[in-house]
Structure 1
């Protein structure tokens, strides 16, 4: 695969991330976010570390967010790239960008719930299955 990311900008500046566009990308292309109301997505953005990919035009074409305490734990979520910009290595570079941003915090664990189509990419980048995933518990309607 050819990686072509030079005409894109990666940002961690939430002021440059358009919440309406994030919601649109997730609502249209992310099965895990289907039906998520805009106000809920806006709250998630407001309470997370946010990362975007901007096209040369300034349009947001990719997004990821991280929920973290910046001490021990982080959860990578809502990784999405507009289908019109896929197959250019952008998701891979976005994940690398996120991890580089988190590196100074020396987090003990970063987790994610990989989609079937994303699993291979995450594994290529060094992510591994948890040793004891059955030890993780959840509370709430989606647990």
Structure 2
């Protein structure tokens, strides 16, 4: 827990405009259309970080069957609120969430947050040769 903040997994509390504004400007989802992100959030377990005033300042989601597998995505803390332990608290809340217990595998992709995720047991793939992907990094630019 971080004083002056709270974490919620109540989807009705998520501020879509804040989430879209942040995520649509990231390296991993630049220009993602609102309709695409809305559909993604509707089909994910969402976690929001809120200031004492009720403003959404952080977010993460798990794409999961809630039984065997999950993919952690779209994690952010607004820059002016960083350095307070909020990302660690958010990660702990996600990993303690009841329906995410006993999963066989959780994956994520990151370019710059290996230190954070390593604290929660994430490691490079043991056998990357067993994983494949179909990747279209410019898909959101097709909507321009």
- Normalization by structure 2: what TM-score? 0.88
Unaligned segments of structure 2, at least 5 residues? 138-144
1:44 to 31, 40, 45: 40
Counterpart of 1:141?
A: 136
Answer yes or no: is 1:11 the counterpart of 2:8.
yes
Structure 1 segments of 4+ aligned residues over 3 angstroms from their partners: 102-105
Q: Tell me how large the CA RMSD over aligned residues is.
A: 1.6
Counterpart of 2:62?
A: 66
Counterpart of 2:79?
A: 83
Give SS of 1:75's match. Answer: strand
Q: Give distance in 1, aligned partners of 2:13 and 2:89.
A: 18
Change (3 A) 1:35 1:126: same
2:96 to 100, 104, 107: 100
Aligned length: 137
Q: Give distance in 1, aligned partners of 2:98 and 2:124.
A: 20
Q: Give distance in 1, aligned partners of 2:125 and 2:35.
A: 32
Answer yes or no: is 1:26 the counterpart of 2:18.
no
